[in-house]
Structure formats: structure tokens, C-alpha cells
Amino acid sequence: MKSISGIRIGLSAPDLIIALVSSIDEVEKIFFRRLRQIKNLKELKQGNEFSRFSVEQLLRHQPRKMFPGFWLSRNNIVNDSGLSAIKLEDEETLAVTSRVLCQNGKIRHLPLVDFNCEINSDNLQTIKDFFKQTIGQGIILESGRSYHGYGTKLLSQREMAIFFGNCLLFSGFIDERYIGHRLIDGEMCLRITANRLRSELPKVVDWV
């Protein structure tokens, strides 16, 4: 794997962002969003709140314009003067997006994946194999009920489209609705903090 300074088991998602930015020289800025997370369809079904979903419910999407976004510079991230200074309301969570402004002025994308499988050693190995066979490298975090994945290679818009396609082919492990939402928004996005609905802070469990 590309050498990531400070990578270790148990590293929190915010500290992983600092490590990634410190190690990827091209990064000038990264775009973040404040999210207000709601129950997803799986949670609603498990809670017996709905036995069958309407087409309107199935197509429900919260457009990114609903959530304030902002750029943080490389210096603010690496010095932890940006992330630690952000104040969130009780229902909010901070999310990193895939959008990266590079030193050359171009926009690239950091691969971010929301998996949808049980936490166990077999699934973890399968996710590692997924990264090996698609973009070559990846860092895997436990998110509470499943895993989050971070790539370490910045992607062009075309490469991101191919990566989305590979994610959809990885049926049974990927949250397909996550991919649908990300395609609509034109960016990948993962939470890096916890809140009442998502009480677990994502932490690194392995990498490849």
C-alpha cells in the first residue's frame, strides 16, 4: 500500500483524514459536509415502521444542496486546526466527501465506500480482496454495523465512474443505495463523526 504516515489499527476516521492528507502530496483542499442523518430503509423495515415501501419512499434522496459544505485546506487539516474547530449540533455528523482540489488546480476524487455486510473476518478479507482487484489499495474501518472503505489513490471523474461500477458489481457487500445517492450527487461521502443515530465513531481495522 502507498505509505500512509501514522496508519494504525484503532485510528479514528478524523485522524485517518489527517494521515491521508499528510501522505498524499497532490492534496491542496478537501470538501466536507455537515449531515443530518435519518433512518435508512433497512432501519425503518427492521423497526417495523413500514412493511412495504412506496416508489416515492424508494426514490427518496436528500440532495447535497440541503447540507452545508466547505473546503478545508491542507494546512488546516494536517495541523488539526480545521477539523477540531468544527462545532456540530446534536443531530449533525461531519462527513468527508471525495472531492479533492489538487495542487495543480484539478478536481480529483478520493474513493469512499459504504459497505453493507456483517462484521466478521471472512467479510473483512473479502473487502480487502475487493480493493486489491479494483484500485489496488484501501483502508478499512468498522463503522458500527458494517465497514467503511477509503482508497489512497485519487481518481479522475472517469475513474470514479468505473469504481462506482465495480462497487455495484460487488453485490452483497456494498450498500447499493449509497452508490445510487452518490451517483446522483456526483461525489462520494462518508461520515467521520458519531451522533445519536450513528453512535459508533468509525475506526481503522485493516488495510491493504
Dump pLDDT digits (tens) for 124-179: 999 999 999 999 999 999 999 899 999 999 999 999 999 999 999 998 999 888 89
Under the banding of pLDDT at 50, 70 and 90, the label for residue 3 is: confident
> Could you tell me if 197 and 39 are in contact, meaning their C-beta atoms sit under 8 angstroms apart?
yes
Characterise 186 by phi-psi region: left (phi > 0), alpha (psi -120 to 50), beta (else). left
User: What is the distance between the alpha carbons of residues 198 and 179, in angstroms, rounded to a whole number?
Assistant: 19
Which pLDDT score is estimated for 29?
Answer: 97
Count of CB atoms within 10 A of residue 88's CB? 12
Q: What angle do CA 203, 206, 208 make, to 5 degrees?
A: 135
Mean pLDDT throughout 193-203?
Answer: 83
The model's pTM is 0.85
**46 has pLDDT over 70:** no
Count of CB atoms within 10 A of residue 133's CB? 10
Of 4-8, 43-47, 103-107, 202-206, least confident by mean pLDDT is: 43-47
User: What is the distance between the alpha carbons of residues 27 and 42, in angstroms, rounded to a whole number?
Assistant: 36
